[in-house]
Amino acid sequence: MAKTYWWGNWAFNKVDETLSILDVIKWGEFDSKLSGLLWLLMEQRPSLIVAAGPSWAGKSTLFHSLLDFLPPDISQVTLRGFEEDFRALEYRKPENTYLITEEISNHSYEYLWGYQVARAFQLVAKGFALGGTIHARNIKEVAHILNAMGVPAPQIAKLGVIITLQVARGRNLDSEPIRYVDMVSTFTTTEDGLVAQILAMRHLPEEKFSYPEEAALQDTLSRKFGVKYDSITKEIERRGEHISQLYKEKATREEVRKVINRIYQSRIT
């Protein structure tokens, strides 16, 4: 999933750029229906966190594959970790920019941590979108970690999509661990503070995902993301069908990107 590289005396991981959403489906992390929902969400340029406890759960691979669903007119800007001062963003339009951090942690020079995380979320409050990964087992831990670094609850609530990955043992000692998405959720705020709203969930890798009823899902996507469609289910299915077809064709990541961009362009023209 990730390859290790050296920069000076620093070791760092770089995602295998040939891997796509189709590989994530093949590994069983989720299915084409969930990919249709995530495509629909990524169209709205949401801030995104992919979380998992172990380092080898596949967070970065999943995160980067989801970036392929962003509209082609969105500029992706990778933040520079410990060296980031955010000055270059003064010349960027927030509504057309997606900020990327490989990880929110202090494990490597290329990651964001401490005051830089709080600064990044201040930019989210100003209209930028932010995406990255974090070591957390569930959405509650995500909120606790961010809050401990000075991100207040109203800014944490700006996160659009939080995906949590779990890892289970293989069938025997020689088997690869089983990596799977167990929950996709978002934050809302109430008088009591942050509340997680579940968009998709399962408990075990062999289970199918459960989703809110269409009316409830449509209400959440409308209020949180500004999604306006007569039938959310049909829109999710339509996108899922595109992904299923690409999966059958064993498309490369470049082919996946071309199809997604062609669909976006056809709507414009």
This model's pTM is above 0.85 = yes
- CATH number, position 102: 3.40.50.300
Residues 73-105: pLDDT tens digits?
999 999 988 888 999 899 999 999 999 998 998
- Residue 78, Ramachandran bin (φ over 0: left; ψ between -120 and 50: alpha; else beta): beta
Please indicate, yes or no, if residue 6 is contained in any of the structural domains.
no
Average pLDDT, the chain: 89
Please indicate, yes or no, if residue 210 is contained in any of the structural domains.
yes
Please indicate, yes or no, if residue 89 is contained in any of the structural domains.
yes
Instruction: Tally the domains of the chain.
Output: 1
Q: Is the pLDDT of residue 247 over 80?
A: yes
| Secondary structure letter of residue 101 according to DSSP | E
Q: What are the C-alpha distances in Å from 148 to residues 88, 113, 246?
A: 27, 11, 42
Please indicate, yes or no, if residue 4 is contained in any of the structural domains.
no
Q: Is the pLDDT of residue 238 over 80?
A: yes
Please indicate, yes or no, if residue 8 is contained in any of the structural domains.
no
Question: CB count, 10 Å around CB of 73?
Answer: 9
Q: What are the C-alpha distances in Å from 170 to residues 59, 174, 176?
A: 19, 8, 6
For residues 136-164, average pLDDT: 97
Say what the pLDDT of residue 215 is.
93
Q: Is the pLDDT of residue 27 over 60?
A: yes
Please indicate, yes or no, if residue 32 is contained in any of the structural domains.
yes
Q: Give the domain extent around 140.
A: 18-268
- SS3 sequence of 165-212: EEEECCCCCCCCCEEEEEEEEEEEEECCEEEEEEEEECCCCCCCCECC
**Contact between 84 and 104 (Cβ < 8 Å):** no
Say what the pLDDT of residue 189 is.
87
Please indicate, yes or no, if residue 12 is contained in any of the structural domains.
no
Give the confidence band of 56 by pLDDT, cuts at 50, 70, 90: confident
Residues 195-217: pLDDT tens digits?
999 999 999 998 999 999 999 99
Q: Is the pLDDT of residue 255 over 80?
A: yes
Say what the pLDDT of residue 173 is.
67
Please indicate, yes or no, if residue 3 is contained in any of the structural domains.
no
Say what the pLDDT of residue 269 is.
45
